[in-house]
Amino acid sequence: MSNDIRPFRIDIPQADLDDLHTRLAMARFPNQLRGDGWSRGVPVSHLREVAEYWRTTYDWRAHEARLNEFPQYITEIDGLGVHFLHVRSPEPDALPLVLTHGWPNTFVEFADLIGLLRDFHVVVPSVPGFGFSDAPKTSFGAPEVADMWVKLMQRLGYDRYGVEGGDFGAYVAPEMAKIAPDRVAGVYIIGGLGFPTEADLPEMTEEERAGFAWMMDQDWIKGVDHHALLRSAPQTFAYGWNDSPVAALAWMTQKFHEFNASGKPLEEAISRDAFLTNLSLYWFTGTFGTSAWPYFDSTEIGWPEGQPTVPTGVYNGPPGIRRFAERTNKIVHWPENNPAGHHFVAMDEPSAFAADIREFFAKVR
């Protein structure tokens, strides 16, 4: 295994950009099905508009240049090439902080956040199979990713650091604390701890049961079951996502629409360009299928449980219930009124998110 850390720059060949534009121009759209709004999926009129914007207005080169402003590297860990951003703070005693993205995001999720965390040494690895990181060759899980990140931080010379995660990262971050409790200062996740299940109903108050009913009625719960789809046949669907940019656009639009917990229309929560930069990274790297492994390597859906050793904080507790989260965590930070956003809060509310990260780690470092 090589311990070399090599500088990396994004440089998508012009032929790939031209191919994308040609495929978008030749797209064969279906007829609109009966039903109101999004009741049958992404409306054809909306997708046509965004596809045309992607083809004629969106400027990948401008966003590629912006991403290349972040120092980026590739290193080999456990036989896999790992892409990561490493943005050092000007503060000499800054705490290193690992940010771990989830699905359907990439490291692009943190593009607006990193500049707000100048009092941290920020490390943003791309999860294996996402973006420019190699895909796993064997069965894999959050513990294996966490072990890779611990090795990465050791390779970078960091003995003590904080960890953050959302979505899949909310499983990885606590695993890092389990592996290296003497190194991890604190575990901070966007949400998911203490989320109630039907098994918890007998212990819940009337108000908590109403909150549970509300949660189960949200699009991010009852929408298209990507867990089942990606667990059962990711190879089958990857043909469409990898070959047709409109199919990929429709799929990502569906999931971003369902995962949007901000209470605002998606394009008010996340700019169209930010959404398309994330999507374009999937398209140019051909990682729609390889990024599905956290699902096809799982057997069931389960909320993050966390860990009991290292202090834990969340961006926003509800709809989690703190006493349920404290069954398996040492909770020291549980705000209930941070601005909404949840799954995409780093993109939707980067300033509020950065402020809350700073508040949590001031308590534990």
Report CA torsion sign: 227, 341, 58, 43. Answer: positive
Predicted confidence (pLDDT) per residue in 322-341, tens digit: 999 999 999 999 999 899 86
pLDDT number for residue 298: 74
pLDDT number for residue 2: 66
Residue ranges in the chain whose pLDDT is less than 70:
1-2, 220, 299-300, 341
Predicted confidence (pLDDT) per residue in 172-197, tens digit: 999 999 999 999 999 999 999 999 98
Query: Which amino acid belongs to residue 253?
Result: T
pLDDT number for residue 21: 98
What domains sit in the chain, N to C, each tagged with a CATH number?
5-29+38-364 (3.40.50.1820)
Give every CB contact of residue 23 below 8 A, 6+ residues apart in sequence.
Answer: 244, 245, 246
| Spatial distance between the Cα atoms of 24 and 329, rounded to a whole number of angstroms | 48
pLDDT number for residue 329: 97
Give every CB contact of residue 112 below 8 A, 6+ residues apart in sequence.
Answer: 274, 346, 347, 350
pLDDT number for residue 300: 67
pLDDT number for residue 341: 66
Give every CB contact of residue 270 below 8 A, 6+ residues apart in sequence.
Answer: 256, 260, 344, 347, 348
The structure tokens listed for 210 are 């109403």
Q: Whose structure tokens read 């611990």?
A: 150
List strand residue ranges (DSSP E) for 182-225, in order.
184-189
> DSSP letters along 215-273, please?
HHTSHHHHS--HHHHHHH-HHHHHHHHHH-HHHHHHHHHHHHHHH-BSSS-HHHHS-HH
Q: Are 209 and 198 in contact (CB under 8 A)?
A: no
pLDDT number for residue 57: 98
